[in-house]
A and B are shown apart, each in its own frame.
Chain A
Amino acid sequence: MLTGIHSRKGLQLVVGLLLGIAFGFLLQKGGVTRYDVIIGQLLFRDFTVLKIMLSAVLTGMLGVHALKSLGLARLHPKPGSIGTSVVGGLIFGVGFGVLGYCPGTVAGAVGQGSMDALLGGVVGILIGAGLFAAVYPKIQSSVLNKGHFGEITLPELFRVHPWAVVLPVVALIVVLLVLIEKAG
């Protein structure tokens, strides 16, 4: 673990910027900074989004778990509950279908000159985030804590070795991608 590097704040800001530039470059080259491509996925007309996400998850999962096994990285699973992951996820999904970008690709869309992303998407997400901060204390103990399960991972849930989940998920993703290619 490179803990010495992790604690250097200025350096981390530069690393974040450089990773972001590479991320934005890839998103734009992949076409997912375009409304048409994202809506095409949600309408099952264009499978670019799914192809990118599944190959990113496959690559990332193998690497991150290998790094963890080697002691070079640790995992940061987000905490969750039915109230946050499912209810919040569905609200996000409605926004996703209406806006046609997500918080990462909307930034990329701004970079390629999409004005609906800049004046609509970015401004809207900022307003939405502010609204959530305002209602957060009121829903924190009720909705958000419903069905709380914490920072658990699938291997922890099934009480098995992480690789016993990683390898079947890799196989599943490969099968899905082959099916998508065959259907497409």
Chain B
Amino acid sequence: MCPQWPPGSRRNARKKENRMEWLTMERWSPYAVGIGIGVLSWIAFVLSDKPLGCSTAFARTSGMIEKMLHGRKVLDKPYYQKFAPEIDWEWMLVVGVIVGAFLSATLSKTFGIEWVPAYWQAAAGESAAIRWIVALVGGVVMGVGARWAGGCTSGHGISGTMQLAVSSWLAAMSFFAGGIATAMLIYRVLL
């Protein structure tokens, strides 16, 4: 054993390692994660006067892409007058989600290019093309639904229900009703 100086530094090093271990863990308790998201929403309300949400950023991005392709007349569309195609707080939030998930996956060494999720592969086969088409169709329907309902699982499901908004409780229940029925149809009937 090598002598350590100052005395106890080896133990301190191990203590520090233990303290940082949670950063490299693959999964955290769902309750710790939920409480963390709840605390983030307090910070968002105090520092930004805004509820956490993600789907408006997709509508703004879609408008930005349309503007690039078709020019400024896109801005005349009534929907883009309501939600201007520009980078705002929520847009940065969604970019942050990508970065944060990348950091988390990298720290726990779980980052990796995956074409077909395991559960899908077990039921539907390993074709990346089929999974891609299904995901694309699902994404289109979700994109329409999120804007139709005025929010998504974070904006309505978490931020809206915690504010006790009637619209959000109805929307969140509808998200899960539609989602459960569709998943059951796919996995119990079609596959």
Contact = CB atoms under 8 A, between A and B. Distances in A.
A91 B141 contact: yes
Interface string B27-67: 11011011111111111111111111011011101110110
Contacts of B113: 113, 115
Contacts of B47: 2, 5-6, 15
Interface size class, chain A? 35 or more
A98 B134 contact: yes
Interface string A1-43: 1110110000011111111111111111111111110011011
Contacts of B96: 16-24
Contact of B101 (A25, A51, A88, A91): A25
B178 to A, nearest CB: 2
A95 B142 contact: yes
A55 B114 contact: no
A82 B185 CA distance: 25
Given A25-B103, A89-B175, A91-B178, A57 B161 contact: yes
Interface in B89-104: 89-104
Contacts of B173: 89
B97 A128 contact: no
Contacts of A16: 48, 88-93, 96
B20 to A, nearest CB: 14
Given A20-B92, A59-B39, A84 B150 contact: yes
Contacts of B108: 29
Contacts of B116: 116
Nearest to A68: B45
A93 B34 contact: no
B102 A111 contact: yes
Given A23-B96, A89-B170, A40 B119 contact: yes
A51 B135 contact: no
B39 A1 contact: no
Given A77-B165, A94-B141, A95-B139, A100 B120 contact: yes
Nearest to B186: A97
A69 interface: no
B179 interface: yes
Contacts of B182: 42, 93-94, 96-98
30 contacts: A22-B96, A27-B37, A35-B119, A36-B119, A55-B31, A59-B35, A63-B42, A64-B162, A73-B46, A84-B149, A85-B149, A93-B178, A95-B144, A96-B138, A100-B183, A103-B54, A103-B146, A105-B153, A108-B97, A110-B101, A112-B102, A113-B105, A116-B117, A116-B132, A119-B136, A133-B59, A133-B63, A140-B78, A152-B166, A155-B164
Given A55-B34, A55-B35, A72-B46, 12 more contacts: A6-B49, A16-B91, A16-B92, A17-B95, A42-B183, A62-B38, A77-B163, A81-B167, A89-B170, A103-B146, A113-B114, A117-B135
